[in-house]
Structure 1
Amino acid sequence: MKSFMGFIFTVCASLFGYMLIEARRNRVSEHTFSFSNLPSSFHGVRIFFISDLHFRSIHSSILREVKGKADYVFVGGDIMEKAVPFSRVEENLKKLSSIAPVYFVWGNNDYEKDPQRLEETLREHGVTVLANDTAVLQKNGESLFLIGVDELNHGRDDLEKAGAYSGDGFKVLLAHDPAIIHKLKKSHNITLVFSGHTHGGQIRLFGKGIREKGGVKQRNGVTLLLSNGYGTTTIPMRLGAPAETHLLTLVKDDE
Protein backbone atom coordinates (compact mmCIF):
# COMPACT_ATOMS: atom_id res chain seq x y z
CA MET A 1 0.00 0.00 0.00
CA LYS A 2 2.81 2.36 0.92
CA SER A 3 4.58 1.71 -2.38
CA PHE A 4 1.36 2.40 -4.27
CA MET A 5 0.79 5.66 -2.42
CA GLY A 6 4.41 6.59 -3.07
CA PHE A 7 3.88 5.94 -6.78
CA ILE A 8 0.75 8.13 -6.79
CA PHE A 9 2.62 10.90 -4.98
CA THR A 10 5.47 10.73 -7.49
CA VAL A 11 3.08 10.87 -10.44
CA CYS A 12 1.20 13.85 -8.97
CA ALA A 13 4.42 15.69 -8.14
CA SER A 14 5.76 15.09 -11.64
CA LEU A 15 2.52 16.31 -13.21
CA PHE A 16 2.51 19.39 -10.99
CA GLY A 17 6.10 20.17 -12.01
CA TYR A 18 5.30 19.66 -15.68
CA MET A 19 2.31 22.02 -15.43
CA LEU A 20 4.54 24.69 -13.92
CA ILE A 21 7.04 24.25 -16.75
CA GLU A 22 4.28 24.52 -19.38
CA ALA A 23 3.20 27.83 -17.83
CA ARG A 24 6.75 29.22 -17.92
CA ARG A 25 7.67 28.28 -21.47
CA ASN A 26 9.34 30.94 -23.63
CA ARG A 27 8.27 29.71 -27.03
CA VAL A 28 8.07 31.75 -30.21
CA SER A 29 5.79 29.95 -32.67
CA GLU A 30 6.52 30.93 -36.26
CA HIS A 31 3.82 31.18 -38.93
CA THR A 32 3.77 32.21 -42.59
CA PHE A 33 0.49 33.49 -44.03
CA SER A 34 -0.09 34.02 -47.74
CA PHE A 35 -2.71 36.44 -49.06
CA SER A 36 -3.42 37.50 -52.64
CA ASN A 37 -4.67 40.94 -51.52
CA LEU A 38 -1.58 41.81 -49.47
CA PRO A 39 0.03 45.01 -50.80
CA SER A 40 3.31 44.20 -52.56
CA SER A 41 5.28 46.52 -50.28
CA PHE A 42 4.25 44.40 -47.27
CA HIS A 43 5.46 41.14 -48.80
CA GLY A 44 7.73 39.56 -46.18
CA VAL A 45 6.62 41.86 -43.35
CA ARG A 46 7.04 40.24 -39.94
CA ILE A 47 4.87 40.75 -36.86
CA PHE A 48 5.62 39.72 -33.29
CA PHE A 49 2.36 38.95 -31.47
CA ILE A 50 2.05 38.54 -27.71
CA SER A 51 -1.07 38.39 -25.60
CA ASP A 52 -2.16 37.79 -22.01
CA LEU A 53 1.07 38.57 -20.17
CA HIS A 54 -0.66 38.98 -16.80
CA PHE A 55 2.04 38.44 -14.12
CA ARG A 56 4.92 37.37 -16.39
CA SER A 57 8.04 39.27 -17.30
CA ILE A 58 9.12 38.76 -20.90
CA HIS A 59 12.17 36.50 -20.93
CA SER A 60 15.40 37.67 -22.54
CA SER A 61 15.44 34.56 -24.77
CA ILE A 62 12.32 35.81 -26.55
CA LEU A 63 13.91 39.20 -27.15
CA ARG A 64 17.01 37.54 -28.62
CA GLU A 65 14.85 35.45 -30.92
CA VAL A 66 12.73 38.25 -32.37
CA LYS A 67 14.90 41.37 -32.24
CA GLY A 68 15.96 42.39 -35.72
CA LYS A 69 13.30 40.17 -37.27
CA ALA A 70 9.98 41.86 -36.42
CA ASP A 71 8.75 45.01 -38.16
CA TYR A 72 5.84 45.50 -35.77
CA VAL A 73 4.73 44.31 -32.34
CA PHE A 74 1.05 43.61 -31.69
CA VAL A 75 -0.13 43.19 -28.08
CA GLY A 76 -3.47 41.43 -27.73
CA GLY A 77 -4.47 42.75 -24.31
CA ASP A 78 -4.23 41.68 -20.67
CA ILE A 79 -0.77 43.11 -20.26
CA MET A 80 -1.68 43.29 -16.57
CA GLU A 81 -4.37 42.58 -13.99
CA LYS A 82 -5.25 43.97 -10.56
CA ALA A 83 -2.34 42.50 -8.57
CA VAL A 84 0.36 43.22 -11.18
CA PRO A 85 2.65 46.13 -10.23
CA PHE A 86 3.05 48.94 -12.76
CA SER A 87 6.81 48.49 -12.49
CA ARG A 88 6.43 45.10 -14.20
CA VAL A 89 4.23 46.59 -16.91
CA GLU A 90 6.85 49.27 -17.57
CA GLU A 91 9.60 46.66 -17.68
CA ASN A 92 7.67 44.65 -20.28
CA LEU A 93 6.86 47.76 -22.33
CA LYS A 94 10.54 48.72 -22.47
CA LYS A 95 11.35 45.26 -23.78
CA LEU A 96 8.59 45.28 -26.38
CA SER A 97 9.44 48.80 -27.53
CA SER A 98 13.03 47.71 -28.11
CA ILE A 99 11.83 45.23 -30.74
CA ALA A 100 9.70 47.39 -33.05
CA PRO A 101 6.78 49.86 -32.98
CA VAL A 102 4.11 48.54 -30.59
CA TYR A 103 0.32 48.46 -31.09
CA PHE A 104 -1.97 47.54 -28.20
CA VAL A 105 -5.64 46.66 -27.63
CA TRP A 106 -7.37 46.40 -24.26
CA GLY A 107 -8.20 43.10 -22.58
CA ASN A 108 -10.75 42.60 -19.82
CA ASN A 109 -8.10 42.35 -17.07
CA ASP A 110 -6.42 45.60 -18.14
CA TYR A 111 -9.40 47.48 -16.68
CA GLU A 112 -9.11 45.95 -13.20
CA LYS A 113 -6.63 48.35 -11.61
CA ASP A 114 -6.19 51.84 -13.03
CA PRO A 115 -6.93 52.00 -16.77
CA GLN A 116 -6.16 55.71 -16.97
CA ARG A 117 -2.71 55.20 -15.51
CA LEU A 118 -2.19 52.16 -17.75
CA GLU A 119 -3.04 54.19 -20.85
CA GLU A 120 -0.66 56.95 -19.77
CA THR A 121 2.07 54.36 -19.18
CA LEU A 122 1.50 52.81 -22.60
CA ARG A 123 1.71 56.16 -24.35
CA GLU A 124 4.80 57.20 -22.36
CA HIS A 125 6.54 54.18 -23.88
CA GLY A 126 5.48 55.12 -27.40
CA VAL A 127 2.78 52.46 -27.69
CA THR A 128 -0.11 53.10 -30.07
CA VAL A 129 -3.31 52.30 -28.17
CA LEU A 130 -6.14 51.16 -30.43
CA ALA A 131 -9.52 51.45 -28.72
CA ASN A 132 -12.05 51.17 -31.54
CA ASP A 133 -9.62 52.85 -33.88
CA THR A 134 -7.51 52.19 -36.98
CA ALA A 135 -3.77 52.63 -37.46
CA VAL A 136 -2.58 52.99 -41.04
CA LEU A 137 0.77 51.24 -41.53
CA GLN A 138 2.53 52.50 -44.64
CA LYS A 139 5.38 51.26 -46.83
CA ASN A 140 6.40 52.69 -50.21
CA GLY A 141 3.09 54.49 -50.60
CA GLU A 142 0.99 51.38 -49.86
CA SER A 143 -1.09 50.82 -46.72
CA LEU A 144 -2.07 48.09 -44.31
CA PHE A 145 -5.00 48.96 -42.03
CA LEU A 146 -4.66 47.71 -38.45
CA ILE A 147 -8.05 47.85 -36.76
CA GLY A 148 -8.13 47.56 -32.98
CA VAL A 149 -11.32 46.99 -30.98
CA ASP A 150 -11.79 47.69 -27.30
CA GLU A 151 -12.59 44.97 -24.76
CA LEU A 152 -15.56 42.79 -25.70
CA ASN A 153 -16.74 41.26 -22.41
CA HIS A 154 -18.21 44.47 -21.05
CA GLY A 155 -19.48 45.81 -24.37
CA ARG A 156 -16.72 48.35 -24.98
CA ASP A 157 -16.10 47.06 -28.50
CA ASP A 158 -17.42 49.03 -31.48
CA LEU A 159 -16.49 47.42 -34.78
CA GLU A 160 -18.28 50.02 -36.84
CA LYS A 161 -16.33 52.82 -35.24
CA ALA A 162 -13.08 50.88 -35.26
CA GLY A 163 -13.39 49.76 -38.87
CA ALA A 164 -14.85 52.98 -40.16
CA TYR A 165 -11.87 53.55 -42.44
CA SER A 166 -13.33 53.35 -45.93
CA GLY A 167 -11.87 51.48 -48.85
CA ASP A 168 -10.97 47.92 -49.78
CA GLY A 169 -7.41 47.86 -48.46
CA PHE A 170 -5.77 44.98 -46.61
CA LYS A 171 -7.34 45.00 -43.14
CA VAL A 172 -6.03 43.25 -40.03
CA LEU A 173 -8.10 43.11 -36.84
CA LEU A 174 -6.47 43.07 -33.40
CA ALA A 175 -8.95 42.03 -30.70
CA HIS A 176 -8.41 40.50 -27.27
CA ASP A 177 -11.39 38.16 -27.41
CA PRO A 178 -11.77 35.81 -30.41
CA ALA A 179 -15.57 35.99 -29.99
CA ILE A 180 -15.28 39.20 -32.03
CA ILE A 181 -15.21 36.91 -35.06
CA HIS A 182 -18.96 36.35 -34.66
CA LYS A 183 -19.59 40.08 -35.10
CA LEU A 184 -17.69 40.38 -38.36
CA LYS A 185 -19.62 41.10 -41.51
CA LYS A 186 -18.50 40.57 -45.07
CA SER A 187 -18.67 44.34 -45.51
CA HIS A 188 -15.94 44.79 -42.88
CA ASN A 189 -13.53 43.19 -45.36
CA ILE A 190 -11.22 41.82 -42.64
CA THR A 191 -8.56 39.37 -43.85
CA LEU A 192 -6.66 38.42 -40.69
CA VAL A 193 -7.54 38.49 -36.97
CA PHE A 194 -5.18 38.33 -33.97
CA SER A 195 -6.70 37.29 -30.61
CA GLY A 196 -5.88 35.74 -27.24
CA HIS A 197 -8.00 35.69 -24.06
CA THR A 198 -8.76 31.95 -23.89
CA HIS A 199 -5.29 30.91 -22.63
CA GLY A 200 -5.95 27.81 -24.73
CA GLY A 201 -8.13 26.60 -21.88
CA GLN A 202 -4.95 26.79 -19.73
CA ILE A 203 -5.53 23.30 -18.31
CA ARG A 204 -6.80 20.69 -20.74
CA LEU A 205 -7.63 17.13 -19.70
CA PHE A 206 -7.77 14.44 -22.38
CA GLY A 207 -7.67 17.22 -24.98
CA LYS A 208 -10.66 19.03 -23.50
CA GLY A 209 -10.61 22.47 -21.89
CA ILE A 210 -13.08 25.05 -20.65
CA ARG A 211 -11.96 27.40 -23.43
CA GLU A 212 -10.71 27.04 -26.98
CA LYS A 213 -7.14 25.98 -27.63
CA GLY A 214 -4.91 28.32 -29.59
CA GLY A 215 -3.93 27.81 -33.20
CA VAL A 216 -4.49 29.06 -36.73
CA LYS A 217 -8.15 28.76 -37.66
CA GLN A 218 -10.45 29.65 -40.55
CA ARG A 219 -13.68 31.31 -39.42
CA ASN A 220 -16.31 32.92 -41.63
CA GLY A 221 -13.80 33.31 -44.46
CA VAL A 222 -11.28 34.99 -42.15
CA THR A 223 -7.91 33.70 -40.92
CA LEU A 224 -7.74 33.77 -37.11
CA LEU A 225 -4.54 33.46 -35.12
CA LEU A 226 -5.67 32.53 -31.61
CA SER A 227 -2.85 32.51 -29.06
CA ASN A 228 -2.62 30.39 -25.92
CA GLY A 229 -1.07 33.52 -24.43
CA TYR A 230 2.14 34.10 -22.54
CA GLY A 231 0.94 34.34 -18.95
CA THR A 232 -1.65 32.78 -16.68
CA THR A 233 -4.29 33.94 -14.27
CA THR A 234 -5.74 32.40 -11.08
CA ILE A 235 -3.25 29.53 -10.99
CA PRO A 236 0.28 29.65 -12.52
CA MET A 237 -0.03 26.28 -14.29
CA ARG A 238 -0.83 24.94 -17.74
CA LEU A 239 -1.54 21.53 -19.21
CA GLY A 240 -2.01 20.84 -22.91
CA ALA A 241 -1.91 24.56 -23.73
CA PRO A 242 1.69 25.72 -23.30
CA ALA A 243 2.57 29.39 -23.07
CA GLU A 244 3.49 30.93 -26.41
CA THR A 245 4.24 34.05 -28.41
CA HIS A 246 4.23 34.34 -32.21
CA LEU A 247 6.36 35.60 -35.08
CA LEU A 248 4.32 35.96 -38.26
CA THR A 249 5.51 36.49 -41.81
CA LEU A 250 3.01 37.83 -44.35
CA VAL A 251 3.66 37.05 -48.00
CA LYS A 252 1.83 38.04 -51.15
CA ASP A 253 0.32 35.19 -53.12
CA ASP A 254 0.33 36.17 -56.79
CA GLU A 255 -1.75 33.19 -57.91
Structure 2
Amino acid sequence: MELKTVGAVLAAAAGTVLAAMYASAKVAILREHDAVIHTEQDGEGPKILFISDIHRRRVSRKLIRKAGGPFDAVVIGGDLAEGGVPESRIRLNIRRLSALGPLFYVWGNNDREVGEALIRSVISDEGGTVLDNESAELMAGPIRWMLVGTDDETSSNVDVDQAFRNVRRGDAVIFVSHSPSVFRMLGSRDPEVRMAGHTHGGQIRLGRFGMLEKGFFRSDNGKVELVSNGYGTSLVPLRLGAPAECHVIRLRAKKKHSNGEL
Protein backbone atom coordinates (compact mmCIF):
# COMPACT_ATOMS: atom_id res chain seq x y z
CA MET A 1 0.00 0.00 0.00
CA GLU A 2 1.35 3.42 -0.93
CA LEU A 3 2.30 5.89 1.77
CA LYS A 4 -0.41 8.32 0.62
CA THR A 5 -3.03 5.60 0.89
CA VAL A 6 -1.88 4.65 4.38
CA GLY A 7 -2.03 8.28 5.42
CA ALA A 8 -5.53 8.67 4.04
CA VAL A 9 -6.72 5.54 5.85
CA LEU A 10 -5.23 6.71 9.13
CA ALA A 11 -6.70 10.19 8.71
CA ALA A 12 -10.13 8.72 7.98
CA ALA A 13 -9.87 6.44 11.03
CA ALA A 14 -8.80 9.34 13.24
CA GLY A 15 -11.67 11.43 11.93
CA THR A 16 -14.15 8.66 12.67
CA VAL A 17 -12.85 8.28 16.23
CA LEU A 18 -12.97 12.05 16.86
CA ALA A 19 -16.51 12.23 15.49
CA ALA A 20 -17.56 9.40 17.80
CA MET A 21 -15.89 11.09 20.78
CA TYR A 22 -17.63 14.37 19.97
CA ALA A 23 -21.00 12.63 19.66
CA SER A 24 -20.42 10.82 22.96
CA ALA A 25 -19.90 14.17 24.67
CA LYS A 26 -23.24 15.46 23.40
CA VAL A 27 -25.45 12.76 24.89
CA ALA A 28 -25.93 11.62 28.47
CA ILE A 29 -26.99 8.44 30.21
CA LEU A 30 -29.63 8.79 32.92
CA ARG A 31 -28.59 6.20 35.45
CA GLU A 32 -31.10 4.95 38.01
CA HIS A 33 -30.02 3.64 41.40
CA ASP A 34 -31.99 2.12 44.26
CA ALA A 35 -30.21 1.76 47.58
CA VAL A 36 -30.94 0.81 51.18
CA ILE A 37 -29.09 2.51 54.01
CA HIS A 38 -28.87 1.36 57.62
CA THR A 39 -30.32 3.66 60.27
CA GLU A 40 -32.05 3.42 63.65
CA GLN A 41 -35.52 3.24 62.05
CA ASP A 42 -37.19 1.90 58.94
CA GLY A 43 -38.47 4.51 56.54
CA GLU A 44 -38.87 5.71 53.00
CA GLY A 45 -36.17 8.07 51.84
CA PRO A 46 -35.88 10.84 49.29
CA LYS A 47 -35.78 10.57 45.54
CA ILE A 48 -32.85 12.63 44.27
CA LEU A 49 -31.64 13.83 40.90
CA PHE A 50 -27.88 14.37 40.94
CA ILE A 51 -26.07 16.19 38.14
CA SER A 52 -22.56 17.63 38.17
CA ASP A 53 -20.05 19.28 35.87
CA ILE A 54 -22.46 20.87 33.42
CA HIS A 55 -19.79 23.38 32.33
CA ARG A 56 -20.76 24.71 28.87
CA ARG A 57 -23.59 22.32 28.05
CA ARG A 58 -27.27 23.06 27.92
CA VAL A 59 -29.42 20.76 30.03
CA SER A 60 -31.59 19.25 27.35
CA ARG A 61 -35.37 19.11 27.36
CA LYS A 62 -35.04 15.42 26.53
CA LEU A 63 -33.12 14.79 29.75
CA ILE A 64 -35.70 16.73 31.77
CA ARG A 65 -38.56 14.74 30.24
CA LYS A 66 -36.76 11.44 30.80
CA ALA A 67 -35.87 12.26 34.41
CA GLY A 68 -39.54 12.86 35.14
CA GLY A 69 -39.90 13.79 38.77
CA PRO A 70 -40.95 15.33 40.96
CA PHE A 71 -37.85 14.89 43.11
CA ASP A 72 -37.36 15.58 46.79
CA ALA A 73 -34.07 17.22 45.84
CA VAL A 74 -32.31 18.20 42.64
CA VAL A 75 -28.63 18.39 43.55
CA ILE A 76 -26.04 20.13 41.39
CA GLY A 77 -22.62 18.83 42.38
CA GLY A 78 -20.59 21.83 41.26
CA ASP A 79 -19.18 23.23 38.01
CA LEU A 80 -22.55 24.50 36.93
CA ALA A 81 -20.56 26.81 34.66
CA GLU A 82 -17.08 28.03 33.79
CA GLY A 83 -15.51 31.17 32.38
CA GLY A 84 -17.16 32.31 29.15
CA VAL A 85 -20.53 30.63 29.68
CA PRO A 86 -23.25 33.23 29.04
CA GLU A 87 -25.61 34.13 31.86
CA SER A 88 -28.60 33.22 29.68
CA ARG A 89 -27.42 29.59 29.43
CA ILE A 90 -26.78 29.31 33.17
CA ARG A 91 -30.26 30.66 33.88
CA LEU A 92 -31.82 28.30 31.34
CA ASN A 93 -30.14 25.28 32.93
CA ILE A 94 -31.19 26.27 36.44
CA ARG A 95 -34.75 27.01 35.34
CA ARG A 96 -35.07 23.57 33.72
CA LEU A 97 -33.58 21.72 36.68
CA SER A 98 -35.54 23.62 39.33
CA ALA A 99 -38.79 22.60 37.60
CA LEU A 100 -38.10 19.02 38.76
CA GLY A 101 -37.95 19.74 42.49
CA PRO A 102 -36.22 21.74 45.26
CA LEU A 103 -32.80 22.79 43.99
CA PHE A 104 -29.54 22.50 45.94
CA TYR A 105 -26.08 23.43 44.73
CA VAL A 106 -22.45 23.15 45.89
CA TRP A 107 -19.56 25.13 44.44
CA GLY A 108 -17.23 23.61 41.88
CA ASN A 109 -13.67 24.67 41.10
CA ASN A 110 -14.73 26.49 37.89
CA ASP A 111 -17.96 28.19 38.96
CA ARG A 112 -16.51 31.38 40.36
CA GLU A 113 -14.95 32.12 36.96
CA VAL A 114 -18.33 33.57 35.94
CA GLY A 115 -18.65 35.46 39.22
CA GLU A 116 -19.84 34.34 42.62
CA ALA A 117 -22.56 37.00 42.73
CA LEU A 118 -23.99 35.78 39.42
CA ILE A 119 -24.17 32.16 40.56
CA ARG A 120 -25.82 33.11 43.84
CA SER A 121 -28.32 35.31 42.02
CA VAL A 122 -29.25 32.62 39.49
CA ILE A 123 -29.76 29.98 42.21
CA SER A 124 -31.72 32.36 44.45
CA ASP A 125 -33.97 33.60 41.64
CA GLU A 126 -35.20 30.04 41.07
CA GLY A 127 -35.73 29.40 44.79
CA GLY A 128 -32.64 27.20 45.14
CA THR A 129 -30.19 26.84 48.01
CA VAL A 130 -26.40 27.20 47.95
CA LEU A 131 -24.89 24.67 50.35
CA ASP A 132 -21.53 26.28 51.08
CA ASN A 133 -20.77 24.54 54.37
CA GLU A 134 -24.49 24.28 55.08
CA SER A 135 -27.15 21.63 55.55
CA ALA A 136 -30.83 21.36 54.67
CA GLU A 137 -33.60 19.08 55.89
CA LEU A 138 -35.08 17.09 53.02
CA MET A 139 -37.59 14.91 54.86
CA ALA A 140 -38.79 14.59 58.42
CA GLY A 141 -40.54 11.70 60.15
CA PRO A 142 -39.20 8.62 61.88
CA ILE A 143 -35.91 9.54 60.22
CA ARG A 144 -34.72 13.05 59.46
CA TRP A 145 -32.94 13.11 56.10
CA MET A 146 -30.29 15.82 55.94
CA LEU A 147 -28.46 17.06 52.85
CA VAL A 148 -25.03 18.42 53.81
CA GLY A 149 -22.74 20.26 51.39
CA THR A 150 -19.38 22.01 51.51
CA ASP A 151 -17.66 24.67 49.48
CA ASP A 152 -15.06 23.47 46.99
CA GLU A 153 -11.58 22.91 48.34
CA THR A 154 -10.04 25.24 45.74
CA SER A 155 -11.72 28.09 47.64
CA SER A 156 -9.76 27.15 50.81
CA ASN A 157 -13.13 27.49 52.52
CA VAL A 158 -14.16 23.89 53.20
CA ASP A 159 -15.50 23.76 56.77
CA VAL A 160 -16.84 20.32 57.61
CA ASP A 161 -17.66 21.26 61.22
CA GLN A 162 -19.76 24.18 60.01
CA ALA A 163 -21.51 22.03 57.42
CA PHE A 164 -22.51 19.40 59.98
CA ARG A 165 -23.41 21.74 62.84
CA ASN A 166 -27.18 21.13 62.53
CA VAL A 167 -26.93 17.36 62.08
CA ARG A 168 -28.20 15.34 65.03
CA ARG A 169 -27.63 11.78 66.15
CA GLY A 170 -29.95 9.46 64.24
CA ASP A 171 -30.18 11.66 61.15
CA ALA A 172 -29.65 10.04 57.77
CA VAL A 173 -27.00 12.18 56.09
CA ILE A 174 -26.51 12.69 52.36
CA PHE A 175 -23.17 14.43 51.93
CA VAL A 176 -22.29 16.23 48.69
CA SER A 177 -19.09 17.93 47.58
CA HIS A 178 -17.78 18.80 44.15
CA SER A 179 -14.62 16.72 44.47
CA PRO A 180 -14.45 13.26 46.07
CA SER A 181 -11.17 14.36 47.68
CA VAL A 182 -13.29 16.23 50.24
CA PHE A 183 -14.49 12.85 51.52
CA ARG A 184 -11.10 12.49 53.20
CA MET A 185 -11.82 15.63 55.25
CA LEU A 186 -14.82 14.05 56.98
CA GLY A 187 -12.70 12.53 59.72
CA SER A 188 -14.79 10.35 62.03
CA ARG A 189 -18.04 11.42 60.35
CA ASP A 190 -19.51 8.60 58.31
CA PRO A 191 -22.52 9.84 56.31
CA GLU A 192 -24.87 7.27 54.89
CA VAL A 193 -24.53 8.69 51.38
CA ARG A 194 -21.60 10.48 49.70
CA MET A 195 -21.89 12.14 46.29
CA ALA A 196 -19.39 14.03 44.14
CA GLY A 197 -18.34 14.72 40.57
CA HIS A 198 -15.31 16.70 39.32
CA THR A 199 -13.30 13.83 37.84
CA HIS A 200 -15.34 13.49 34.61
CA GLY A 201 -14.42 9.80 34.90
CA GLY A 202 -11.15 10.73 33.23
CA GLN A 203 -13.26 11.99 30.26
CA ILE A 204 -11.03 10.25 27.72
CA ARG A 205 -10.03 6.71 28.58
CA LEU A 206 -8.17 3.97 26.74
CA GLY A 207 -9.69 0.80 28.06
CA ARG A 208 -9.09 0.71 31.81
CA PHE A 209 -6.66 3.60 31.68
CA GLY A 210 -7.53 7.23 32.25
CA MET A 211 -6.16 10.32 33.94
CA LEU A 212 -8.70 9.88 36.74
CA GLU A 213 -10.87 7.04 38.01
CA LYS A 214 -14.02 6.23 36.10
CA GLY A 215 -17.27 7.20 37.78
CA PHE A 216 -19.03 4.65 39.95
CA PHE A 217 -22.00 3.95 42.19
CA ARG A 218 -21.51 1.67 45.19
CA SER A 219 -24.09 0.49 47.68
CA ASP A 220 -22.62 -1.78 50.33
CA ASN A 221 -23.39 -2.58 53.97
CA GLY A 222 -25.85 0.27 54.31
CA LYS A 223 -23.59 2.94 52.81
CA VAL A 224 -23.75 4.59 49.39
CA GLU A 225 -21.01 6.32 47.41
CA LEU A 226 -21.42 8.00 44.04
CA VAL A 227 -18.76 9.70 41.93
CA SER A 228 -20.25 10.83 38.64
CA ASN A 229 -18.62 11.12 35.22
CA GLY A 230 -20.54 14.39 35.01
CA TYR A 231 -22.72 15.91 32.33
CA GLY A 232 -20.39 18.26 30.45
CA THR A 233 -16.75 18.33 29.44
CA SER A 234 -13.66 20.34 30.25
CA LEU A 235 -10.89 21.59 27.91
CA VAL A 236 -12.11 19.63 24.88
CA PRO A 237 -15.71 18.64 23.99
CA LEU A 238 -14.78 14.98 23.65
CA ARG A 239 -15.43 11.79 25.61
CA LEU A 240 -14.19 8.24 25.25
CA GLY A 241 -14.90 5.38 27.64
CA ALA A 242 -16.44 7.69 30.27
CA PRO A 243 -19.91 8.59 29.02
CA ALA A 244 -21.70 11.70 30.22
CA GLU A 245 -24.26 10.88 32.88
CA CYS A 246 -26.59 12.09 35.58
CA HIS A 247 -28.37 10.08 38.24
CA VAL A 248 -31.73 9.29 39.76
CA ILE A 249 -31.24 7.91 43.27
CA ARG A 250 -34.03 6.36 45.34
CA LEU A 251 -33.16 5.82 48.98
CA ARG A 252 -34.79 3.72 51.66
CA ALA A 253 -33.81 3.18 55.28
CA LYS A 254 -33.75 -0.16 57.04
CA LYS A 255 -33.18 -0.69 60.72
CA LYS A 256 -30.18 -2.81 61.58
CA HIS A 257 -30.73 -4.89 64.68
CA SER A 258 -28.15 -5.55 67.36
CA ASN A 259 -27.38 -8.99 65.92
CA GLY A 260 -26.51 -7.34 62.60
CA GLU A 261 -29.60 -8.59 60.79
CA LEU A 262 -31.97 -6.30 58.91
The reply to whether TM is greater than 0.5 is yes
Tell me the CA shift for residue 40 of structure 1.
Answer: 4.0
Alignment correspondent of 1:71: 72
Question: Which ranges of structure 2 fall in alignment gaps of 5 or more residues?
Answer: 256-261
Q: Please tell me whether the aligned partners of residues 39 and 143 of structure 1 are also in contact (alpha carbons under 8 angstroms).
A: no
Whether the 8 Å CA contact 1:41–1:139 is kept in 2: the answer is: no
Q: What pairs with 1:152-171 in structure 2 (closer than 5 Å)?
A: 152-168=153-169, 169-171=171-173
**How far off is 1:209 after superposition?**
1.3
Q: Is the 8 A contact 1:26 1:61 kept in 2?
A: no
* Distance 1:104-1:39 versus aligned 2 partners, 3 A rule: farther
Deviations 1:126-178 (A, max 9, x none): 11110001101224464111111001123221111111124221111110010
Q: Compute the displacement of 1:248 (Å).
A: 0.7
The corresponding residue for 2:111 is 110
Residue of structure 2 equivalent to 1:53: 54
Shift of 1:218: 7.3
**Residues of 1 paired with 2:19 and 2:38: CA distance?**
45
Deviating more after overlay: 58-67 vs 97-106: 58-67
Say if 1:199 and 1:6 are closer, same or farther in 2 by CA, change over 3 A: same
**Runs of 4+ displaced beyond 6 Å:** none
Give, in whole Å, the separation in 1 of the partners of 2:41 and 2:245. Answer: 28
Task: Tell me whether 136-145 or 29-38 shows the greater mean CA deviation.
Answer: 136-145
CA RMSD of aligned residues (A): 1.9
Residue 41 of structure 1 and its aligned partner are, at CA, apart by 4.3
Q: Write the deviation string for residues 82-119 of structure 1: whole angstroms up to 9, x where unpaired.
A: 11011000000110011111110000101112111210
Structure 1 unaligned spans of 5+: none
Assess if the C-alpha contact under 8 Å between 1:93 and 1:122 holds in 2: yes
Verify: 1:232 aligned to 2:255, yes or no: no
Rg (Cα) greater in structure: 2
Would the alpha carbon gap of residues 74 and 166 (structure 1) be closer, same or farther in structure 2, given more than 3 Å must change? Answer: closer
Alpha-carbon spacing, 1:122–1:75, altered in 2? closer, same or farther (3 Å):
same
Normalised TM-score (structure 1): 0.92
Residue 196 of structure 1, CA deviation: 0.3
Counterpart AA for 1:174: V
